[in-house]
Amino acid sequence: MVTSAKSMRGAAVKTARSGRKGASLPAPKDVDELQQRASEVLRQLQGPQVEAALPQARLLTLAARDLRDYATLLRLAEAVGRVAPQEVQVRRLYAQALIDTGQVTVAIDLLDALLQRLPPDDAEAAEAAGLRGRAFKQLYFDAADKRSAAATHALAQAIEAYRGPYLAAPSRHTWHGVNLLALLCRARRQGLDELAPDLDVSPLAQALVRDLEKVAPSKRDAWYLPTLAEASLGLALGTGDLRPIEQTLHAYVMDPAVQAFQVASTLRQFTEVWDLDGMAEDPHTPAGLRRVGRLTDILRARLLQLPGGTLEVPVRRMQRPPVAKARSAKARAQEAAEQAADHSQLEAILGKEGPKTLAWWRAGIDAARSVAVIRQRLGRRLGTGFLVNAGDFGLSPADERLLLTNFHVVNPQGAAPGIKPALAEVIFEAVDPQRVHTVAQIVWCSPIDQHDACLVRLQSTPAADVPALSLSAELPPRPAAPDAGAAAARVYVIGHPGGRELSVSFQDNELLDHEGAPDGVPQIPGVCRVHYRAPTEGGNSGSPVFESEAWQVIALHHKGGKLGMPRLNGQEGSYAANEGLALGALQAAARQALTAPAEGVGQSTP
C-alpha cells in the first residue's frame, strides 16, 4: 500500500492530542495492550457508559492507526460511528483503515460524505481531503496499466484532492503540497501535461522549501524534516543538483529522534511515488541525477539501524544484470570511481558506520535471492522455501542444493493445507521470475506436530549464482528478564507474506524465547521451538528466520499467533508471537532419519 507521510504522523504521539477529551490518558505501548483495552471499550460502547468510553475510544483509534492494527481500528470506528456519528476524526480514521485494508472505493464514498458535512475551514476538512487524495493515489498505483483511462483519472483526482487544501493555505498544509509536488512530477514524467497545466513543478518546489524553512524551530514537529526532504528532492530534480537533498537527508536520518516508521514512510514515497529506483535505471535520466537511486539505499540502510519499520525490497533490486564477457579498462575504472563515490556519499550522510550498514543490508538482499515462492500448479501461492546444502543434513554430494519448506506446504500425501510434490511449482522470483522448477523427490520430511519440515530435490538446478543459505545450529541467547535492561536479539524473516512480493521483516522483530541450550526446556522431544515477533502472514510458511549478525538461518518459520501462542519453557499464559523450528534440532532429526529412511521419504514424485 502507498502510504503518505502524513498518514503516519500520529505514531510519534504517546498520548491523545492536546485539546481533546481524554488527552491525559496514556496510549497503549503495544498491540497486546491496545487489543485488551479495545475489548473493554467496545463493551462499554454497547452499554450505558457511552459518554465515559468515548475519550478512551478516540485515543485507541489513534493508537490503532499508529500501531497499524487496522482490524482493531475498524471495530472501534464502527462502534463509535453507531453511537456518536459526530466524531469526525474517528470517521476519518475509519476511512484510513479502509484504505490500508484494500477497501479504497468504500473509503472514498465515506470521505465524500464526510467532506459534505464539514465546513471548508474546518481542520478535519483538510485532513479528509488529503486522505481522499491518498485513496485516489492508491487506485493509481494499484493500476496495472498506469496509462489507462482509469489510472489517469485516479491520478487527476489525487492531484486535485491535494491541490485544494494546499493552495488555500500553503504554509499550513505543506504535507498536501509535497504530495501534490510528487504527483505532478510523476504526471510530467509520464507525459500527462494536461493534468493541472497551470502548475509548474519548479516554482512549487521552491515555494515549499521556502515556507518550510520559515517554520520556527520550536514549531517543527516530527514530520518537519521528512516533508522538507521531499520538497528538497523536487527542487533537486528540477535543478539537477542533488547536494541540497543530500544535506537535508543527512539532517533527517541522523536526527536522534527519528523513528523507523518515518524513514519507512519516506522510503515508500521515494520509491513508489517519486520512483527514484526507476529513475536511476532509466537511460534517459541525466548523468548528474543517476545517483538519485542511492538516496533510497541510504534510507534502507538507516532503517536497518532503527527498531521497528517494515522493508519490502522490490524484486528488481535483487536481480543482477548479466555479466559482460569483457570490459575495457576505462569501464572498470569508471565502475571503481562510482563505487568510491557511493561509499563517500553514504559515509557523508550516515557516518563511518554507513558503508558497513549498507554492506550488511546488501548481504541480506543476496540471501533473499535464495528464497523461493511455492505455488500450486496453475493455482494459488502456498508458501515459501529456501535453498540449503545437502551436506548440512548429512547427505552427499555435500554441495547439492536442496529446497527446505514446511510439511504443511508440501508433503507426500498432500495432507491439507499442503499439496503433493507433483503439484508444486517453485520460483526464485529475485533471480528469474519466469523460470519454474518442479519437485523431483522428497528427500526427508517431518509432520506438523514435530518439525513441520519437508526437504525436497528439484527437477532442475537453480542458477549457479543462487547459493544455499548458511545455517547455524546455535541460537542467540534467550532474552533477559524484562527488567534487566538488556536489549533482546533480533531476527529477520524473508518470505512471501500473503503470497505477495518477496519481503524482509524489520518490524517488531525481537527474539522472545526459545527452547535451546543451555537452559531451554523442550516440550516435544527432539524439537526446539523459537518464538519471535515479526510481521509475518500466511505465505511466510517455510521462510528462513535469520539471526542478526551474519545472515545465518537459525529457524524454519511455520506459524504465528496474534495473541494465543502459549509461552515456552513451562511459563504460564500466552502472547502474540510467531514460531519457528530451530535448524540445529531439525538437522539432527534429518540426519537420524536419513540413516534409515521412513516410508514415503526419498521417493520420486508420482
Residue 481 pLDDT grade (very low, low, confident, very high; cuts 50, 70, 90): low
pLDDT of 168 reads 93
Tens digit of pLDDT for each residue in 338-348? Answer: 555 566 666 66
Q: What are the domain boundaries of the chain? A: 369-458, 482-583
| CATH (one of 3.90.550.10, 2.60.40.10, 1.20.1730.10, 2.40.10.10) for 482-583 | 2.40.10.10
User: Residues with Cβ < 8 Å from 338, sequence gap 6 or more?
Assistant: none
DSSP state letters, 181-242: HHHHHHHHHTT-TTSSTT--HHHHHHHHHHHHHTS-GGG--TTHHHHHHHHHHHHHHHHS--
pLDDT mean over 233-250: 88
Is the pLDDT at 118 greater than 60? The verdict is: yes
Q: Please tell me the number of Cα atoms within 13 Å of 104 on its side-chain side.
A: 19
21 pLDDT band (50/70/90 cuts)? Answer: very low
Q: What is the pLDDT of residue 433?
A: 84
Q: Which among 137, 162, 360 is positioned nearest to 268, based on CA atoms?
A: 137
How far is it, in rounded angstroms, from Cα 403 to Cα 373?
11
Cell numbers that stand for 458 in this block: 528439484
Q: Which of 584, 465, 604, 460 is nearest to 516 (CA)?
A: 584
Note the pLDDT of residue 282.
81
User: Once rounded to an integer, what is the mean pLDDT over residues 82-111?
Assistant: 94
Look at phi and psi of residue 556 and say left if phi exceeds 0, alpha if psi is from -120 to 50, else beta.
beta
| Cβ(296)–Cβ(281) below 8 Å | no
Range among 241-245, 348-352, 420-424, 547-551 with highest mean pLDDT value: 420-424
> Once rounded to an integer, what is the mean pLDDT over residues 17-35?
64
Asked if 53 contacts 44 with a C-beta cutoff of 8 angstroms, the reply is yes
Looking at residue 184, its amino acid is L
3-state DSSP assignment of residue 424: strand
Question: pLDDT digit string (tens) for 557-601?
Answer: 988 766 678 999 989 888 888 899 999 999 999 999 987 655 445
Confirm whether 369-458 and 482-583 share one CATH topology: yes
Region for 153 from its dihedrals, namely left if φ exceeds 0, alpha if ψ lies in -120 to 50, beta otherwise: alpha
- Measure Cα distances from 87 to 25, 49, 108 in Å: 18, 17, 18
- Least confident residue range of 125-139, 319-333, 442-456: 319-333
What does the pLDDT read at residue 505?
61
User: Phi/psi of residue 419, each to 5°?
Assistant: -130, 165
The CATH superfamily holding the domain 369-458 is Trypsin-like serine proteases (2.40.10.10)
Write down the pLDDT at residue 91.
95
Provide the pLDDT for residue 493.
Answer: 86
